Structure 1
Amino acid sequence: MAALSPTFGRFTDQLFRRIPRADQRRWAEVYVQGLLTTPGKKTVRRMAAAVTDSDTAAQALHQFINASPWEWEPIQTEILRWVERQTRPQSWTIAPAVLPKRGGQSCGVHRRFIPQTGRTVNCQIGIGSFLSAGDDVLPVAWSMLLPDDWSDAERRRRARIPSDTTTPIDGVLDLLTGLPPRRSHRPMPVVADLVGYLDTCALIHGLVERAHDFVIAVPDNLLLQPGSHLAARQCAEGAPVRAAEFVDERTTGLAYLPRTTTRPGLQRTYRLFERREAGRGRPGGLWLTNMTNRPYDELLALVDGLATTTTTIGRLERDFGLRDFEGRSYPGWHHHMTLVSAAYTYDRLAASQQQDVRLRQVA
C-alpha cells in the first residue's frame, strides 16, 4: 500500500516539520496513513483501527483533528513546494466541492442550489486550489465558503471561526498565495468556474489587483462594454451588452467591464469566447480572459483542464475521505481538508515515482 512506501516518511517529515509538537506530528502521519489505507468511509474510528493497535488512537486522532491548535497553512505551503519540485505545474485551477451534511450544526452548513446538479442540498461548500501539471491535477489548499447566515457572532464562536476571517472572494484569492516560481517568461494562469458560487465581477477585479493572468467562466448576463472588433460593430457604440449577446458564431471578442463596475485603475481589455461542442466532461459556456494575445487553442486547453480537476475532486470524495469529516469546527474542517490533500498528493506522486523506478529497472 502507498503508505508503506519508503518515500512516505520523507514526505511526512517535510510536510509536518512546522507542527511544533512531536506527538502532533505523529498523529498527522497516522491520519494521512489512515486516509491512504483505510477502505471505504474514512471515519476517525475506522482509520485508527486500520493503522494502529492502540485502544486510545481514535480518541487521540479526534482530538488532534478537532481540538489541537496547529496551523494548516504551513502544511499547504509544503504541499505546494513538494508538487512544484516533483512536477511541472502549468496552471492553477479553482473549483468548488459540494460536501453534503445532515443537520445544521457543522460549520458553514446551509441549504443552497447547486448549479451542476440543478438541486438544492444541505451542504458545506469548499473552494479548492489545484496545481495542474499535465495529466495530474493536485490539490493544494481549501477555503470554506461561509454564507451570510453564518455571520451571527454566537454561531461563529461555537464553530471557532476566527474573527479576522476574510470575505469569500479574498478567501479564494488567498489560496493563490505562494505561487511557484516561473518556469518560463509567462506566469501560471488561474482557471476557474465559480458561476453560481461567487460574484464574477468581484473575482475578476481581485485577480487583476493581484496581477494574475486568468481564464474565468462568466454568466450569460454579465455586462460587458464592446471593444473595437467585428462583434462590437453589431452593438450600439458604448452600450453595455450581456455576455451571451456579445459572442457570435464567427468570432471571439474584445471587451471591457463597464466603468460602473470597475474601480479606478482596473479598466482592462479582456477577451470573451465561447467553449463550443463541449463533451466528454469538457466545460462549455462563456469565458473571459485577460490573456488577449494567447492562441485560441491554448485558451481552450486551459478550460479543458477543469474537467481533470472535476475528476480529481471525484477521487478525493470517493477514495480519500473528502466528505467524511465528522467534526463541526472551522479549524477541524481545514485540518481534515489539508490532510486529505496531502494524502492524495502523496498517492499520485509516489505512484509516479515508483513507476519511474520500475521502468528504469526494466531498461
Structure 2
Amino acid sequence: MTALTRTRALGAGDTTLDEFTERLFGHLPRADQRRWARVYLQGLLTTPGKKSVRRLAASVTESPTASQSLQQFINASPWEWDPARTELLRWVEERHTVRAWTIGQVAFPKRGEHSVGVHRRFDPAAGRIVNCQYGYGLFLSLGGTNTPVDWRLLLPENWSADPTLRRRARISPEVAHQTPESLVLGLVDSIAARTSSVRAPVIADFSRLNGAAALIGMLGRRGHDFLVCVPPSLTVSPAGPAHGAEPARMPVRMPARMPVRATSAGDFVRLGNTSHPYAAQLGGPDARAQRPRIHSGLVRVPGGETGVPGAQQTYRLFGERRPGPGLRGGPVWLTNMSRHRMDDLLFLVRQSAQTAAVLGTLADEFGLLDFEGRSFPGWHHHMTLMSAAFAYKSMPNAPEAREAREYAA
C-alpha cells in the first residue's frame, strides 16, 4: 500500500468521524455539503504538510473534480458556521470539565491586499510589522489541552466602509468594524449565551489593548470572573488594607516602600505590598527555570468600575520579580478573584501560555495559517472545520486520532 493510498484509506470507513461530522454539520441543508464537510475534516486530520484545498482533496479522493468542489464548499457555499460551533462547544463540554475560557490572538501573514481584512500591523510574535489578517479565538481550557470553539476576524475600518471591498469579500451587511475590545467581549458574550456548563473564568492578554480598563469593567458588569494580562502603563490606585486584607494562608513580606497614590501597574508590581516566593515561573517569552518571587497587591482601576452605584471594585494585581540585579519587568496580571490562592491564579496564568502553544500546533498540524481563500465566509468556514478537526483528534479515544498517530510514526 502506497503512502497516498494509505492516507486516502485512513478514516474512510470511520463511523465515529461520520457521527461527529453529522452532529456538527447536520444542519447543512444538502447532502453534498455534509459530504464535503466530512472530506475536509478527513483531509485536515490526515494530510501532512500544508493544508491547501488542493492537497486536502488529493489526499482523500482520486476524483479530478474534488478540489474544485471542495473549494466551492469552503469559499462560495452559503452555509452558517454558528450552529456548527455551538455543537462543537457542547460536544467538548460533554467530554471535559472546562477550567477556563481563554482568548488567543493570531496574525495570519498574507501576500497582497485581497484577502478579507488584510492590513499592516505590528505582530508581537514576529517582532515586526507584517501584512496580515488578525483574529481572536476563544478556547476552552480543559486542564490537559485548550480547544478552540469560536473565532472573530478583525475588520479594519477601510474594509468596513468600502462597498467594493465588502462586495468582493462577501461581507454581510450586519458585519461592521469593531475594536479588538469589542471582538473579545463578543466572544465572551457568545459563549456565555451558549454554554451548558457553569461559567468559567475568562483568561486573556490585554497588554496591547488601549481600552483594557473599559474591557475589564465590562467583564465585571457581566458577572465574569477574569484574569487578564494588562499593560504595565495601566493606571491603578492602591486599594489599601481597609478594603481587603491579604488572606492569611499566603506568605507575606512587607517591603520598605509601597505605592500610596495612583501609579502605573508596572511600578505598583515592582513595589508591591505582598511578596510570594514561588517555585514556578510566571511565564513569558524569556521565562527560565528559576525561583521567581511574585509581588502582588490590591488595587482599583480608574475606568474599570463595575457600574454598581457606590461600589468600587477591588482587584489583585501581581507580577514576577526575577532574581538578578535590579528589577526586571515581566507580564503584569490583574484579576477580580482577589481572594483566590496564588497557586490557583498561577495555574490560570499557565492556561494562557497553553493557548499560545496550541496556536502553534494548529499552525503546524491543522492548517491554521493555510487558508488561501479571500472571502469573509470562507475564512469562518475554514476556522470552524479546523477547530472541529483539532477537537476530534485531541480526544484520546478517537479512532482517527489513534490511526493518525500510528501513520505519523
TM bucket, shorter chain:
0.7 to 0.9
Secondary structure of 2:150's counterpart equals: strand
- Give the distance between the partners of 1:198 and 1:146, measured in 2 at CA: 17
1:144 pairs with 2:157: no
Within-5 A mapping of 1:1-363: 3-4=11-12, 5-154=14-163, 155-165=165-175, 167-168=178-179, 169-176=181-188, 177-179=190-192, 180-182=195-197, 187-196=199-208, 199-229=211-241, 234-236=258-260, 239-247=261-269, 248=271, 250=275, 251-259=295-303, 262=305, 264-265=307-308, 267-277=312-322, 284-349=330-395, 351-353=396-398
The structural deviation recorded for 1:263 is 7.5
> TM-score, normalized by length of structure 1?
0.87
CA, structure 1 residues 27+194, in 2 after alignment: closer, same or farther (shift >3 Å)? farther
| Kept in 1: contact 2:25–2:34 (CA 8 A) | yes
CA, structure 1 residues 242+198, in 2 after alignment: closer, same or farther (shift >3 Å)? closer
The structural deviation recorded for 1:171 is 2.5
Deviation per CA, 1:238-267, whole angstroms, max 9, x where unpaired?
Answer: x421111112253411111215x6484384
CA, structure 1 residues 235+106, in 2 after alignment: closer, same or farther (shift >3 Å)? same
> TM-score, normalized by length of structure 2?
0.78
The structural deviation recorded for 1:314 is 0.6
Gaps of 5+ in 2: 1-6, 242-253, 276-294, 324-328, 403-409
- Give the distance between the partners of 1:340 and 1:277, measured in 2 at CA: 38
- Give the distance between the partners of 1:139 and 1:276, measured in 2 at CA: 32
Secondary structure of 1:175's counterpart equals: helix
| Kept in 1: contact 2:213–2:302 (CA 8 A) | no
CA, structure 1 residues 235+107, in 2 after alignment: closer, same or farther (shift >3 Å)? same
Deviation per CA, 1:210-244, whole angstroms, max 9, x where unpaired?
Answer: 2211100001100112201379x8334xx421111
| Kept in 1: contact 2:221–2:307 (CA 8 A) | no
Q: What letter matches 1:178 in structure 2?
A: I
- Identity among equivalent positions (%) equals 48
The structural deviation recorded for 1:277 is 5.0
- Give the distance between the partners of 1:111 and 1:34, measured in 2 at CA: 31
Number of equivalences:
347
| Kept in 1: contact 2:373–2:379 (CA 8 A) | yes
CA, structure 1 residues 114+198, in 2 after alignment: closer, same or farther (shift >3 Å)? farther
The structural deviation recorded for 1:57 is 1.1
Secondary structure of 1:70's counterpart equals: coil
| Kept in 2: contact 1:95–1:194 (CA 8 A) | no
Deviates more, 1:265-274 or 1:89-98: 265-274
- Give the distance between the partners of 2:45 and 2:159, measured in 1 at CA: 33
The structural deviation recorded for 1:299 is 0.5
Deviation per CA, 1:88-117, whole angstroms, max 9, x where unpaired?
Answer: 111111010121110111011111111233
Deviates more, 1:265-274 or 1:331-340: 265-274
| Kept in 1: contact 2:11–2:400 (CA 8 A) | no
Partner of 2:406: none
Q: What letter matches 1:345 in structure 2?
A: A
CA, structure 1 residues 22+284, in 2 after alignment: closer, same or farther (shift >3 Å)? farther
| Kept in 1: contact 2:219–2:226 (CA 8 A) | yes
Partner of 1:361: none
The structural deviation recorded for 1:355 is 11
Q: What letter matches 1:160 in structure 2?
A: R
Larger gyration radius, structure 1 or structure 2: 2
Partner of 1:360: none
| Kept in 2: contact 1:327–1:333 (CA 8 A) | yes
Deviation per CA, 1:60-98, whole angstroms, max 9, x where unpaired?
Answer: 111111111111111111111111011111111101012
- Give the distance between the partners of 2:210 and 2:148, measured in 1 at CA: 20
